[in-house]
């Protein structure tokens, strides 16, 4: 009976709502990044265990926040006995970039139910966002909600599973493995995916320079400044290059 | 920090982070954005990713570390070259991790 209902559900509502091929394309597009995400998710589990969180609390955190860098910052501050408001403030500043992602991907996610928008928003990560927007620009016919869902869901599952594995195996894994390096590597892998010609390079160099120069600024403000300067430099250089007759894609 | 405070902290951060992610996806149809915003948005992925990458490979213990002895810098630069040339995600990450561990352990 249950199987029958599931079958009805799958063939009826879900099939009408999502395009299977797009979901699978989304999954495939982020699959190579799993290699970099697994070690980072394990670190997050290991750190939660070392900070003294129960497994349930660690899972509550990784499901409830689902943004790795901010989760690690929270754990660090908890073990430093920081004030609750400082922890909340720091984590939210780290995640502020998600608002730019939201603005950037919004045009591709219109004409769908608010509940589905909420699900897609909740599960969106740096990686699924970046891969998807670049893919949408190059493939205007794509079923965007299905593609993004596929990309996000697979990373969500990998993240939660490996957080648990990291938590349970924490004591076996030596910290000098430097597993945190996996995440910058996933960013490097997708960095050039959507670069719009030379102006994309201008954005990358400007933003990277500002981020490094501003790294000492309090509360991750350097990251936000770098993004703003990088986006501005890229846009301005594109305007300039186009005017000069040097046409860009 | 007791358990209740921790639950509350996680809950507030989770809701706030969701609000960031949801904000414009939700508001988009309800407002009109100028054309230049759309143009600028195409530079969000390279700008934000770059802002996350370079501090991660160049800064250690709050100081700039530009040296051939910095394994993250060396492995990161090789990975950037591979990503630029091949655009192959798996090859980039695998080579980056491989070189990183090679430098650390050998």
pLDDT per residue as tens digits for the range B45-104: 899 899 989 999 999 888 899 999 999 999 999 999 999 999 899 999 999 999 999 999
CB atoms within 10 A of CB A97: 24
Higher pLDDT, A170 or A65: A65
Q: What is the DSSP string of chain A?
A: -HHHHHHHHIIIIIHHHS-HHHHHHHHHHHGGGHHHHHHHHHHHHHHHHHHT--HHHHHHHHHHT--HHHHHHHHHHHHTT--HHHHHHHHHHHHTHHHHHHHHHGGGG-SS-HHHHHHHHHT--HHHHHHHHHHHHH-TTS-HHHHHHHHHHHHHHHHHHHHHHHHHHGGGS-GGG-GGGHHHHHHHHHHTTS--HHHHHHHHHHHHHHHHHTTTSGGGHHHHHHHHHHHHHHHHHHHHHHHTT----
Averaged pLDDT, A63-73: 93
Cβ pair A230:B48 closer than 8 A: yes
Chain B residues in contact with A70 (beta carbon < 8 A): 13, 17
ipTM metric: 0.91
Q: What is the reported pLDDT for A13? A: 62
pLDDT band for B6, please (50, 70, 90 cuts): very high
| 8 Å CB contact between A208 and A235 | no
Tens digits of residue pLDDT in A15-64: 678 999 999 999 999 999 999 999 889 988 988 998 899 999 999 999 99
Domain assignments of chain B as residue spans, ordered by start: 1-32, 40-105
Tell me the nearest-neighbour CA distance from B68 into chain A, angstroms.
Answer: 17
Residue A198: is its pLDDT beyond 60? yes
Mean pLDDT calculated for residue range A203-215: 95
Nearest chain A residue (CA) to B55: A212
Q: How far apart are CA B16 and CA B22, in angstroms?
A: 10
List chain B residues with CB under 8 Å of A66: 14, 17
Taking contacts as CB-CB distances below 8 angstroms, the residues of chain B near A92 are 13, 16-17, 20
A161: contact with B, CB 8 A cutoff: no
The pLDDT score that the predictor gives to residue A249 is 44
């Amino acid at each position: 009976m249950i199987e029958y209902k599931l079958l009805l559900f799958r063939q009826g509502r879900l099939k009408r709502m999502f395009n299977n091929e797009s979901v699978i394309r989304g999954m495939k597009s982020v699959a190579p990044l799993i290699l970099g995400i697994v070690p980072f998710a394990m670190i997050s589990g290991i750190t939660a265990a070392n900070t003294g969180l129960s497994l349930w609390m660690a899972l509550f955190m990784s499901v409830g926040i689902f943004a790795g860098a901010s989760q690690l910052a929270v754990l660090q501050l908890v073990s430093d006995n920081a004030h609750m408001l400082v922890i909340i403030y720091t984590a939210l500043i780290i995640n502020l970039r998600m608002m730019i992602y939201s603005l950037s991907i919004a045009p591709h996610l219109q004409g769908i139910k608010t509940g589905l928008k909420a699900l897609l928003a909740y599960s969106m990560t740096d990686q699924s966002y970046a891969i998807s927007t670049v893919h949408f620009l190059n493939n205007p016919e794509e079923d965007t909600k299905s593609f993004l869902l596929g990309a996000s869901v697979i990373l969500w599952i990998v993240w939660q599973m490996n957080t648990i594995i990291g938590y349970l195996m924490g004591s076996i894994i030596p910290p000098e493995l430097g597993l945190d390096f996996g995440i910058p590597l996933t960013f490097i892998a997708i960095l050039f995916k959507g670069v719009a010609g030379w102006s994309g390079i201008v954005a990358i160099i400007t933003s990277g320079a500002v981020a490094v120069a501003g790294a000492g600024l309090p509360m991750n403000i350097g990251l936000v400044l770098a993004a703003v300067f990088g986006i501005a430099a890229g846009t301005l250089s594109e305007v300039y290059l186009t005017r000069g007759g040097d046409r860009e894609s | 920090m007791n358990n209740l405070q921790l639950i509350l902290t996680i809950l507030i951060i989770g809701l706030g982070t969701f609000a960031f992610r949801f904000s414009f996806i939700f508001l988009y149809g309800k407002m009109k954005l100028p054309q230049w915003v759309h143009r600028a948005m195409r530079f969000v992925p390279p700008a934000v990713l770059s802002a996350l990458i370079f501090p991660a490979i160049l800064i250690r213990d709050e100081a700039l570390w530009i040296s051939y002895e910095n394994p993250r810098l060396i492995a990161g630069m090789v990975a950037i070259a591979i990503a630029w040339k091949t655009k192959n995600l798996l090859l980039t990450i695998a080579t980056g991790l491989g070189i990183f561990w090679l430098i650390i352990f050998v």
